[in-house]
């Protein structure tokens, strides 16, 4: 097939494939709304399923949300959404359907009857689904009347989740320990249960108890998972019908459940047998122990007497009553420490530590401490008694040291002597000299301390640089040689007129010149040897002769007293200068000793 014909065939086939089904199936679109329940109450969940189907296949528009849904429901999730098609052959024909569906979960917010349906837009034509009537019953308002104290477990199953509150007793005495529990019963694992309104414990002193683990229980034959929400130990603080306020939980985002208020009948403590001045907080079961930190002390030496009350009950609020007077000692108010322990019940320990200073020698008797309490189990008053202790006090009685008293009365004229304080210093004038300004302030000190290692490092670095880049031994030797020649030349110049020392200085200069030319090996050699060595070093003969001539003239002047005239000496100096400045003898050898 030729290319233009093939293209025309493909375009025609595509147009048929796209246009034909649309034209045929446009009138066969159906919409259907299904609900999980048509009767529910506020707070319950409901599932909606919206499905659009087109018989014969083809594109299917997406369904829109049902009208009226927003008035009384809140959508919490979409659980299914999708589209597809089915194709079947048989029965002498063939069928093809396309569909689009959407699933919603919603929570009923308010009561009423709702007629729900949804529409789809099929290329400008509105197609409406079936109408579903959903009846939502309004939730009965929570009762403000407190429920009768709930004890034990629930007996009636209430939906898939509910809250249950109870106390272990419905009747108690003031100060008696009760246990309050709040549990959430749930049939499915709902992780989003929160305590919206906690119970109100206005008339109770409470302690948290361990909540424990979740368990599975059956309520009227229905299995529930029981999640412990709260455990509290309650101590009623007054007589009468005391109510623990009703809690409320939130399930999910909108659904709520309210527990029952718990009423407890609290009785006053029995008057019969009640000790005078008895505190209603001393309810429970207690023991008293006493101990001392040492058996023997000196007079005036403090020791600690510790009384400990422990047991089951609200130990932190215990009233031990007045402490007994102990003659012959000075006793201070006790240091009190309470430690509570919450397990299945609240227990605790309350410690009173007395600092005692004996003032007289002998056997000091610390009386037994008695604690009156009411035992609610036995419903009678009892006494817990500690042991009496004896401390041996040594030494002699002394007048109490009032200086140690922290609560002495101020303003007493004899205070100064009693306290042992030195008296005030009554000068006629106050010194007015301004405080001396310290030379070494912390700032200056710090900078100076930092500057010292910096200076040391600079010195060290400078030395290292000098060693690296400064003159070496050869250069130093040359410099010394130049300096020495200059000095001798200056001495010779100064002695030209007088002649005194002229020849010595000139001879030394010339000898130094020769030795400098041949190096260290020329030192100490006699003159003929030195001249031979100079010759072997390549010194021109004319310079050698000139040097030898000058040296001989110097010798003649030094040893034969032939100083000559000033002009002669000036000529000698000029000759020596020409040797120093222009001859090979005056040139400095390089590192290899070459001129």
What does DSSP say about strands 215-219 and 222-236: parallel, antiparallel, or unpaired? antiparallel
Tokens of 62: 């997406």
* Binding of residue 403 to another protein (CB under 8 A): yes
- Please list, residue by residue across 472-492, b when 16 or more beta carbons sit within 10 angstroms of its beta carbon and e when fewer do: eeeeeeeeeeeeebeebbebb
Asked if 413 touches another protein (CB under 8 A), the answer is: yes
Residues 361-380 that bind another protein (CB under 8 A): none
For another protein, the closer of residues 238 and 294 by Cβ is 294
| Minimum separation from the CB atom of position 478 to another protein (A) | 17
- For residue 137, state whether it binds another protein (rule: CB under 8 A): no
**Which of 470, 540 has the CB closer to another protein?**
470
Q: Quote the DSSP letter at residue 520.
A: G
Does residue number 323 form part of the binding site for another protein (CB under 8 A)? no
Among 5, 432, 468, 592, binds another protein (CB under 8 A): 432
Out of 442, 524, 526, 528, point to the residue binding another protein (CB under 8 A): 442
Cβ contacts of residue 275 below 8 Å, gap of 6+? Answer: 372, 381
Q: In angstroms, give the least distance from the CB of 392 to another protein.
A: 23
CA 404 to chain CA centroid, Å, is 44
The 8-class DSSP code of residue 214 comes to -
**Is residue 416 at the binding interface for another protein, with CB under 8 A as the rule?**
yes
Phi and psi, residue 356, nearest 5°: -125, 135
User: At 197, is the secondary structure helix, strand, or coil?
Assistant: strand
- Asked whether position 426 contacts another protein by CB under 8 A, the answer is yes
**Contact, 193 vs 249, CB < 8 A?**
yes
Q: Of the ranges 20-28, 274-282, 417-425, 488-496, which one interacts with another protein (CB under 8 A)?
A: 417-425
The CB-of-129 to another protein minimum distance in angstroms stands at: 59
- φ, ψ for residue 483 (rounded to 5)? -65, -40
Judged by beta carbon, residue 37 or residue 448, the one nearer another protein is 448
- Long-range contacts: 378-385, Cβ < 8 Å, 24+? 379/173, 379/270, 380/273, 381/273, 381/274, 381/275, 381/278, 384/286, 384/287, 384/288, 384/309, 384/311, 385/288
Binding positions for another protein, 335-364, rule CB under 8 A: 335-337, 355
The reply on whether position 171 binds another protein by CB under 8 A is no
CB of 455 to another protein, least distance (A): 5
Shortest distance (Å) from residue 336 CB to another protein: 7
Q: Would you count residue 428 as binding another protein (CB under 8 A)?
A: yes
Q: Which stretch binds another protein (CB under 8 A): 12-20, 314-322, 440-448, 497-505?
A: 440-448
DSSP string, 533-566: HHHHTT--HHHHHHHHHHHHHHHHHHHS-----H
Closer CB to another protein, 327 or 435, in the complex = 435
- Scanning 87-196, the segments in alpha helix (DSSP H) are none
Based on CB atoms, which residue is closest to another protein, 191 or 414? 414
Stretch that binds another protein, among 206-214, 279-287, 431-439, 543-551 (CB under 8 A): 431-439
Which residues in this chain contact another protein in the complex, by CB under 8 A? Answer: 332-333, 335-337, 355, 403-404, 406-408, 410-416, 419-436, 438, 440, 442, 445-446, 448-449, 452-453, 455-456, 459-460, 463, 466-467
């Amino acid at each position: 097939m030729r290319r233009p014909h093939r293209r025309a065939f493909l375009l025609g086939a595509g147009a048929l494939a796209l246009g034909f089904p649309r034209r045929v199936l446009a009138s066969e679109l159906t919409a259907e709304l299904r609900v999980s329940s048509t009767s529910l109450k506020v707070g319950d969940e409901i599932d909606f399923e919206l499905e659009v189907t087109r018989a014969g296949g083809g594109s299917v528009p997406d369904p829109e949300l049902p009208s009226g849904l927003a008035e009384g429901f809140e959508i919490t999730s979409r659980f299914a959404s999708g589209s597809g098609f089915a194709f079947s052959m048989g029965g002498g024909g063939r069928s093809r359907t396309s569909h689009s569906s959407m699933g919603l979960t919603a929570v009923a917010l308010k009561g009423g009857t709702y007629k729900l349906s949804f529409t789809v837009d099929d290329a400008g034509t509105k197609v409406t689904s079936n109408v579903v009537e959903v009846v939502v019953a309004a939730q009965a308002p929570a009762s403000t009347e407190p429920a009768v104290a709930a004890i034990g477990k629930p007996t009636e199953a209430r939906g898939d989740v509910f809250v249950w509150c109870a106390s272990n007793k419905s009747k108690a005495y003031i100060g008696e320990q009760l246990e309050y529990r709040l549990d959430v019963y749930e049939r499915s694992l709902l992780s989003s249960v929160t305590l919206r309104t906690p119970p109100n414990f206005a008339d109770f002193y409470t302690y948290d108890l361990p909540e424990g683990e979740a368990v599975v229980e059956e309520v009227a034959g229905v299995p529930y998972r029981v999640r412990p929400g709260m455990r509290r130990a309650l101590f009623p603080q007054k007589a009468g019908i005391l109510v623990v306020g009703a809690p409320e939980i939130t399930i999910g985002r909108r659904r709520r459940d309210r527990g029952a208020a718990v009423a407890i009948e609290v009785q006053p403590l029995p008057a019969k047998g009640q000790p005078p001045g008895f505190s209603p907080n001393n309810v429970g079961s207690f023991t008293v122990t006493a101990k001392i930190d040492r058996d023997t002390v000196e007079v005036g030496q403090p020791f600690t007497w510790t009384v400990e009350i422990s047991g089951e009950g609200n130990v932190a609020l215990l009233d031990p009553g007045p402490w007994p007077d102990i003659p012959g000692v000075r006793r201070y108010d006790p240091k009190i420490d309470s430690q509570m322990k919450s397990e299945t019940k609240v227990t605790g320990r309350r410690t009173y530590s007395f600092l005692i200073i004996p003032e007289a020698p002998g056997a000091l008797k610390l009386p037994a401490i008695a604690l009156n309490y009411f035992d609610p189990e036995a419903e009678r008053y009892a006494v817990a008694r500690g042991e009496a202790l004896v401390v041996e006090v040594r030494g002699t009685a002394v007048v109490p040291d009032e200086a140690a008293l922290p609560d002495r009365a101020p303003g007493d004229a004899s205070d100064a002597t009693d306290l042992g304080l030195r008296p005030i210093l009554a000068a006629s004038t106050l010194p007015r000299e301004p405080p001396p300004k310290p030379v070494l302030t912390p700032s200056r000190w710090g900078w100076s301390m930092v500057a010292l290692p910096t200076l040391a490092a600079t010195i060290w670095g400078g030395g290292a640089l000098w060693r690296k880049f400064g003159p070496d031994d050869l250069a130093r030797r040359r410099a010394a040689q130049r300096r020495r020649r200059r000095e001798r030349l200056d001495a010779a110049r100064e002695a030209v007129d007088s002649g005194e020392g002229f020849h010595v200085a000139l001879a030394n200069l010339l000898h130094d010149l020769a030795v400098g030319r041949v190096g260290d090996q020329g030192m100490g050699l006699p003159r003929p040897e030195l001249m031979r060595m100079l010759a072997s070093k390549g010194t021109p003969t004319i310079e050698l002769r000139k040097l030898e001539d000058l040296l001989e003239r110097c010798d003649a002047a030094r040893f034969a007293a032939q100083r000559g005239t000033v002009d002669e000496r000036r000529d000698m100096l000029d000759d020596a200068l020409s040797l120093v400045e222009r001859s090979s003898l005056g040139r400095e050898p390089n590192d290899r000793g070459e001129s």
